[in-house]
Structure 1
Amino acid sequence: MFKFFWQIFELTGLNIFSLLFSWNFWVIIILIAFLYKREQEFEQNVLGYNRRTLIYKVIESSIAGLVGGYIVSLIVLFFGIVVDVDSFLYLWYIALVLALINPRYLCFSYSAGIISIVSLIFKKPAVDISGILLIVAILHFVESLLIFLDGFRGAIPVVIKRRKKDESTGYLDNHSITGAYLMQRFWGIPMVIIALNFQVSAPTVKINLFEPSWWPLFKPQQVTPTTLLLVTPIVAALGYGDLAISDEPHVISKKSAFTLSIFSIVLFVLSALSYRIYAFKWIAALFAPIAHESIILFQQKKQKEGKSIFEAEENTIKVLYVEENSVAEKMGIRPGDTLISINGILIQSENELERIFSDAQIYMWVKVKDKRGKIKELYYQDYENGIRNLGIIVITKNVMPNYEIDTEGYFIFIKSIASKIKRFLFNNKGT
């Protein structure tokens, strides 16, 4: 068995390394760079500068994606999940189109659901439904790990307008200004699968493992003991998008990661059952996109309508963002804190904050209330250069929103496409 494990590690490493020199991998990297470039432009508008360069973000996510791809490959090879290459490529093409419509649809749950349902209804194209859904389940499990470790990095502070629940009536009839963090991460996942289809452009390696008796565990009916199986390198792409309103980004991303891990385990079980029971092909195909979308909408609803640690209040200055290496960070001021006073002067508006820093301060004590309601006093001194600002972005009742929340509802991209077709037909009719 030890020899089996060692061969899996070796095969995975060699194939992923070879994939780094293929055009497939670099197409995904270029797509990710394009998505991050859009994010960089938005960050520039919000903060006035970019905290990280585009190259840094692409390299950072590529390294994380390499680790994620290695884990996916180890799981696929260990269990022996045999899948048709052409079936997997359908996911890639559909996901690419969906990502151009909305970056958050760079997700194989949607593309796998679409192609599986089409195949079940029309019997064309002939798709290995169980195999691709099983791979998607593993990808989402690894995605949950990436979100847990990497999902909150580079979160952008934004100001939004949202509905607020009236505590006396329970209805969402009020609007409020609140701060939030826009979290978007994208990962290219170079990985290997056990392939049936040999007509692929990527290099392949014949499997010659010291195989346990149960291996491969998940395989289509046409696979026999004499079937030639090949380890085929292939590229996947994963994307994560969320808003952190009720808490800081690292807290929200960890909660999202836990929920996604449960989703991936359920999808894995349904997909595994679909090898034996045909009805589960329908169940898994429908579950993948609908459950994934439901999770996102539930989390968004909870974020939009629940309590916010960044809620703007009358005569109050609330901290939304703390710059790296700033005075505020060195003092221990955190996002969600409320400024009470600086050097004994009550702070109730941005004008009062600006007046304090109209002259450089050499010593400063700040009284704040944290997101749990605890009052604390913080101190900082700089006799050499003086203190000219705290290095924070604040939320007040007067601040204007700079980010619009997506329209609620299932599968926004379907509504978006339908709307564009309607406008096109209407405009042509008018001319």
Structure 2
Amino acid sequence: MLPFLEAVPLILKSFFLAFVNLQFLLLFLVVMALIALQYGRMERIREDFFGVKTGLARADILSATGFGLLGGLAGSFLAVFTGLTVSGELYYLWAVAVLLMLINMRFLCFAYAGGVLAFSHLLLGFPAINVPQILALVAVLHMVESFLILVSGHLGAVPAYIKGAGGKVVGGFTLQKFWPIPIIVLAVITGVTVEGGVEMPDWWPLIRPGIPGDPRNLTYLLLPVVAGLGYGDVAIARSPAEKSRLSSLCLGAYSLLLLVLAVLADQSRAVAVAAALFSPLGHEAVIFAGRALELKGKPLYVPPEKGVRVLDVIPDSPAWRLGLRPGDVVLAFDGQELSGSADFYSRLKEAFLPLTVDYRSQATGTPRRGVMLPPAPGRPWGIVTVPEAEEDRYVELFTTGPLGRWLLQGLRKFMS
């Protein structure tokens, strides 16, 4: 590995110079476009709930970009100091990841693509990839994702009605985050090109002799690459912040175990097969275990004995400025108790003067009173409540993409 004091400025310099490389920049913009599409879809879901555009998509995209750059920089140090090298595997990774995305959006993840490629190589000898390195890359990226979930996984949570245990529809949040990850890794140089065929300009400053202590005495380049990370989960029995912390811990444990298996895969074919299987199956286990905990736990966002429970509030709306937050219970308007959601929405619809609101804060458990000013014409009060009865609309936790729907239709025709 590179000496620490020598590597730090090289990694920082290559990280920022990467964005003047046209090939890198174009791929980064493609990833950004895919991410923007997903946040646009989430905005439409919010619009359906609140009945008005919340305008949060742009903030979500900017936040994802900022955190993605931060995570990419952290991942760059981790990748270089662990001696992770890549070559042409990245092309295969992206091709398989995009194909899997068409089956289901949550499969736009290198854990699945990496596992498929590694298992295909071990079973069929194709494609020509380095299994330990590609799985180590998956592990490093998911360590970065674990960090990003911890610091930002709860931001931009989308309110939803979710079918819980026993088929009852309860309130909750879908946690969906997508990050563009520019990351610096080591690549072996053969002649004037990087192994895998990626050409670098003559002025690139980071080509240097082989790493001291490397018995192969190879020449390396700090190569910029682009990855995309996605996180999907639900919060029913926990707040979005609590669920993000738990998910981060579980994904961190998965990443560490996958990294260990990737290192040992170089010594044993059996371990390599186990690592290839663990990459997608372990990731699925983390997702299913997390959702099972929510579906089987005691829901937080259910109707209270008195009043109406808040599911979500639009930032900077009248309800937000009053101080209402998810989980709070609204007890009365102008001193008159609320009998349920229907009464709640009816009185908001008729109100045109400031409302005195009595509510109980979930964060502190204390009763509060405040004045909620009416919204501007055409704007909402900015509040949605938990479901109180059987709802005919709710979120499907596992949705398929266009290729997935086509495959299901073909299977149904075959079975009929």
TM-score of Structure 1 vs Structure 2, range by shorter chain: 0.7 to 0.9
Partner Cα separation in structure 2 for residue 42 and residue 181 of structure 1:
11
Partner Cα separation in structure 1 for residue 50 and residue 374 of structure 2:
28
Supply the AA of the counterpart residue of 2:102.
L
Supply the AA of the counterpart residue of 1:380.
V
Aligned partner of 1:255 in structure 2 is 246
* Cα distance change of structure 1 residues 256 and 3 upon mapping to structure 2, 3 Å threshold: same
| Cα drift, residue 211 of structure 1 | 4.2
Of 68, 72, 78 in structure 2, the residue corresponding to residue 69 of structure 1 is 72
Aligned partner of 1:269 in structure 2 is 260
* Cα distance change of structure 1 residues 72 and 416 upon mapping to structure 2, 3 Å threshold: same
Contact 2:15 2:73 in 1 (8 A): yes
- Which moves more between the two structures, 267-276 or 139-148? 267-276
Contact 1:198 1:230 in 2 (8 A): no
* Cα distance change of structure 1 residues 416 and 280 upon mapping to structure 2, 3 Å threshold: farther
Aligned partner of 2:191 in structure 1 is none
| Cα drift, residue 355 of structure 1 | 5.6
Of 106, 109, 119 in structure 1, the residue corresponding to residue 108 of structure 2 is 106
Partner Cα separation in structure 2 for residue 209 and residue 414 of structure 1:
46
Of 191, 203, 210 in structure 1, the residue corresponding to residue 200 of structure 2 is 203
Partner Cα separation in structure 1 for residue 197 and residue 210 of structure 2:
25
Aligned partner of 1:169 in structure 2 is none
Aligned partner of 2:170 in structure 1 is 178
1:231 aligns with 2:234: no
Partner Cα separation in structure 1 for residue 65 and residue 313 of structure 2:
27
Contact 1:188 1:238 in 2 (8 A): yes
5 Å-filtered alignment, 1:237-248, equals 237-248=228-239
* Cα distance change of structure 1 residues 313 and 233 upon mapping to structure 2, 3 Å threshold: same
Partner Cα separation in structure 1 for residue 182 and residue 23 of structure 2:
8
> TM (normalized to structure 2)?
0.85
Supply the AA of the counterpart residue of 2:338.
I
* Cα distance change of structure 1 residues 320 and 234 upon mapping to structure 2, 3 Å threshold: same
1:403 aligns with 2:400: no
Structure 1, residues 25-44: CA drift from partner, whole Å, max 9, x if none? 22222222222333233332
Aligned partner of 1:18 in structure 2 is 21
Aligned partner of 1:220 in structure 2 is none
Of 415, 421, 425 in structure 1, the residue corresponding to residue 410 of structure 2 is 421
Contact 2:115 2:276 in 1 (8 A): yes
Partner Cα separation in structure 1 for residue 169 and residue 21 of structure 2:
50
Partner Cα separation in structure 2 for residue 134 and residue 87 of structure 1:
12
* Cα distance change of structure 1 residues 19 and 150 upon mapping to structure 2, 3 Å threshold: farther
1:87 aligns with 2:89: yes
Aligned partner of 2:280 in structure 1 is 289
Partner Cα separation in structure 2 for residue 20 and residue 235 of structure 1:
10
Supply the AA of the counterpart residue of 2:26.
W
Partner Cα separation in structure 1 for residue 11 and residue 209 of structure 2:
8
5 Å-filtered alignment, 1:346-385, equals 346-354=337-345, 356-357=347-348, 358-362=350-354, 364-368=356-360, 370=362, 374-380=365-371
Contact 1:318 1:338 in 2 (8 A): yes
1:322 aligns with 2:313: yes
> TM (normalized to structure 1)?
0.82
* Cα distance change of structure 1 residues 404 and 381 upon mapping to structure 2, 3 Å threshold: closer
3-state SS of the aligned residue for 1:61?
Answer: helix
Contact 1:108 1:136 in 2 (8 A): yes
Of 130, 134, 137 in structure 2, the residue corresponding to residue 135 of structure 1 is 137
Partner Cα separation in structure 1 for residue 229 and residue 369 of structure 2:
41
* Cα distance change of structure 1 residues 200 and 62 upon mapping to structure 2, 3 Å threshold: farther
3-state SS of the aligned residue for 1:50?
Answer: coil
Structure 1, residues 240-281: CA drift from partner, whole Å, max 9, x if none? 111111122222112211211111111111112222333321
Contact 1:317 1:394 in 2 (8 A): yes
Supply the AA of the counterpart residue of 1:402.
R
Aligned partner of 1:38 in structure 2 is 41
| Cα drift, residue 383 of structure 1 | 11
| Cα drift, residue 20 of structure 1 | 7.6
Partner Cα separation in structure 1 for residue 303 and residue 355 of structure 2:
28
- Which moves more between the two structures, 34-43 or 50-59? 50-59
* Cα distance change of structure 1 residues 194 and 419 upon mapping to structure 2, 3 Å threshold: same
Structure 1, residues 402-431: CA drift from partner, whole Å, max 9, x if none? 3333359xx99998675233246579xxxx
Contact 1:3 1:210 in 2 (8 A): no
3-state SS of the aligned residue for 2:394?
Answer: coil
Contact 2:172 2:311 in 1 (8 A): yes
| Cα drift, residue 397 of structure 1 | 2.0
* Cα distance change of structure 1 residues 126 and 424 upon mapping to structure 2, 3 Å threshold: farther
3-state SS of the aligned residue for 1:7?
Answer: helix
Partner Cα separation in structure 2 for residue 147 and residue 17 of structure 1:
29
Contact 1:318 1:396 in 2 (8 A): no
5 Å-filtered alignment, 1:139-218, equals 139-163=141-165, 174-196=166-188, 197-201=194-198, 203=200, 205=204, 207-208=207-208, 211-213=211-213
Contact 1:314 1:396 in 2 (8 A): no
- Identity rate, percent: 28
* Cα distance change of structure 1 residues 211 and 190 upon mapping to structure 2, 3 Å threshold: same
Structure 1, residues 143-168: CA drift from partner, whole Å, max 9, x if none? 111112222222211112222xxxxx
Partner Cα separation in structure 1 for residue 84 and residue 157 of structure 2:
36
Partner Cα separation in structure 2 for residue 395 and residue 103 of structure 1:
27
* Cα distance change of structure 1 residues 396 and 135 upon mapping to structure 2, 3 Å threshold: closer
Aligned partner of 2:11 in structure 1 is 8
Q: Which runs of 5+ in 2 are unaligned?
A: 189-193
Partner Cα separation in structure 2 for residue 133 and residue 339 of structure 1:
50
Structure 1, residues 148-197: CA drift from partner, whole Å, max 9, x if none? 2222222211112222xxxxxxxxxx332211112211112122222235
3-state SS of the aligned residue for 1:36?
Answer: helix
Q: Which runs of 5+ in 1 are unaligned?
A: 164-173, 216-222
* Cα distance change of structure 1 residues 160 and 199 upon mapping to structure 2, 3 Å threshold: closer
Partner Cα separation in structure 2 for residue 139 and residue 46 of structure 1:
34
Contact 2:236 2:301 in 1 (8 A): yes
